[in-house]
Amino acid sequence: MKIKNINLIKVVGILLVIIIHFGPMNYAHTNDKLDFNFFLLYRSFLAIGVALLLIVNGYLVINKNYSLKKILINIVHLAILLFVFKFIYALTFNELNFTIDSFLYSLMTTAAKNYRVNHLWFMYALIAIYFLLPLISKIFENKKLYLYLTILVCSYSFGFIIIETIFNLTNNYEMQLFQTLYPFQTHYLFALSYFLLGGLIRQYEDKIKNLQINNIVLILIMLSSLVIQALYFVFINNLSQENFDPMYNGYSTLTTALNATILFYLLKYRVRELNHKHLDGIAYYSLGIYLIHWPLAFYLKKQFLSNYFVLDYLSNIIISLVILLICYLLCYLLGKNKYLQKLIKL
């Protein structure tokens, strides 16, 4: 059964991810203070993309009562996709050292000489989540227990950054922020948090969709949260003399969790139902688009696009839409083959 606007949320999420990889990637692109402040807000908003995709996954997957066999098949499928695209990425970005030990190391870890291969951290996160899915699904059957689990995991994931910040305020920045302090590494734990939030929304959907909160109020809360996130990163960057990014490092913040939840709510329950075959098609191939767009974006930026197009915000969005459509077309063509289609969808 088709779920209202869930495909719209997938499309918004994957578009934001593509925009991330075509936009300004660091603070050095401008000396203008106003533009710099907008850059921080822009990056803070883009952090919502990955969070949305994880929330959608949790919303759709947790209550499906997958058999253990189905879960294991999905894990194997994800692992194969990870290895195949790690190989493709390594070739695309000229990172592969053709020795047996370096090749195996590249496949078995998120570490890489070039950060671009680490784009596949999302696949590692999904694999880790699917290993936990039987336990999560069992806990989901108990509404109160699942609520407690979600609160516990989110408190540990998002709350740790607050504790780190307070510690640094009182100890002259003796503790490095955004380090790998969590059981599944930072990526994995916040990914699990968003995944659980999606399941929580599904579990309390009857109450959530009938909330009597004005849309304008929700948008104002979201804008305020974006400003708070941007100011937080200005503050900690001045404190630490580092360049923490409100997008990449923002995944672990409570503000991104709040913003992603609000945007999910608005798109799911406050926007009229949108039905279009190409919208549904992009959503259907969202995993394939995620995997394909990164090397494609790298190639196009290197071959055809000047720094102007990469750094201009409007051009950033327009080009990202074009890349989304190209990736959709490629996935559609691959999907015509019963074997190749396994490379672009789960």
Phi, psi dihedral angles at 295 (to 5 degrees): -65, -35
Query: Does the pLDDT of residue 155 top 50, yes or no?
Result: yes
Q: Is 266 part of any domain?
A: yes
> Residue 199 and residue 147: Cα distance in Å, rounded?
10
What is the arithmetic mean of pLDDT over 275-283? 93
Could you tell me the pLDDT band of residue 108, with boundaries at 50, 70 and 90? low
102 lies in some domain: yes
Check if the beta carbon of residue 280 is closer than 8 Å to that of residue 8.
no
d(CA 228, CA 47): 14
What band does 305 get if pLDDT is binned at 50, 70 and 90? low
User: How large is the average pLDDT for residues 78-89?
Assistant: 86
Stretch 253-275: mean pLDDT: 94
| Per-residue pLDDT at 103 | 56
pLDDT at 259: 97
pLDDT for the residue 180: 45
The SS3 of residue 192 is helix
- Can you give the residue range of the structural domain that contains 314? 6-343
pLDDT tens per residue, range 319-335: 889 999 999 999 999 99
**Higher pLDDT, residue 83 or 81:** 81
Is position 248 within any domain?
yes
**What per-residue confidence (pLDDT) applies to 34?**
58
What mean pLDDT is predicted for residues 243-264? 90
Residue 4, CB-side half-sphere exposure with 13 Å CA sphere: 13
Residue with structure tokens 């699904």?
137
pLDDT of the residue at 117: 59
16-63 residue pLDDT tens: 999 888 765 555 455 566 567 788 888 899 999 999 999 999 999 998
**Are the C-beta atoms of 92 and 295 separated by less than 8 Å?**
yes
- What residue spans of the chain are helical by DSSP H? 6-22, 33-46, 48-61, 68-92, 100-108, 121-140, 143-170, 185-203, 205-208, 215-240, 254-265, 277-284, 286-303, 307-311, 313-334
Question: Please, which pLDDT band fits residue 121 given cuts at 50, 70 and 90?
Answer: confident
Higher pLDDT, 182 or 341: 341
The yes-or-no verdict on residue 308 having pLDDT over 50 is no
Instruction: Answer yes or no: is pLDDT of 337 > 70.
Output: yes
Query: Measured between alpha carbons, how far is 83 from 106 in angstroms, rounded to an integer?
Result: 9
Q: Which residue, among 71, 77, 181, 78, has the nearest Cα to 120 in the 3D structure?
A: 78
The pLDDT tens digits for 176-200 are 554 544 445 545 678 999 999 999 9
Average pLDDT over residues 197-226: 94
Out of 44-53, 118-127, 162-171, 175-184, which region has the weakest mean confidence (pLDDT)? 175-184
Total domain count for the chain? 1
Is 249 within the bounds of a domain?
Answer: yes
DSSP assignment of 49-118 equals HHHHHHHHHHHHHGGG---HHHHHHHHHHHHHHHHHHHHHHHHHTT----SHHHHHHHHH-S--SSGGGG
What is the model's pLDDT at position 175?
Answer: 45
Quote the pLDDT of residue 112.
45
What does the alpha-carbon distance between residue 320 and residue 294 come to, in Å, rounded to a whole number?
A: 11
Residue 280 has what pLDDT? 94
pLDDT tens-digit profile of 226-239? 999 998 888 877 77
DSSP state of 271: S
Residue 114 has pLDDT above 50, yes or no: no
Predicted confidence at residue 296, as pLDDT, reads: 84
pTM score, whole prediction: 0.89
Q: Could you identify the residue written with the tokens 């630490």? A: 240
Residue at 275 is within a domain: yes
CA distance 37 to 31: 11
Give yes or no for a contact between 286 and 14, defined as CB atoms under 8 angstroms apart. yes
Asked if the structure places residue 143 within a domain, the reply is: yes
Instruction: Supply the mean pLDDT for the chain.
Output: 82
The whole-angstrom separation of Cα 32 and Cα 38 is: 10
Q: Does residue 165 have a pLDDT over 80?
A: no
pLDDT at 239: 75
Residue 1 lies in a domain: no
Least confident of 156-165, 217-226, 282-291: 156-165
Band of the pLDDT at 171, cuts 50, 70, 90? low
Residue 236 in domain: yes
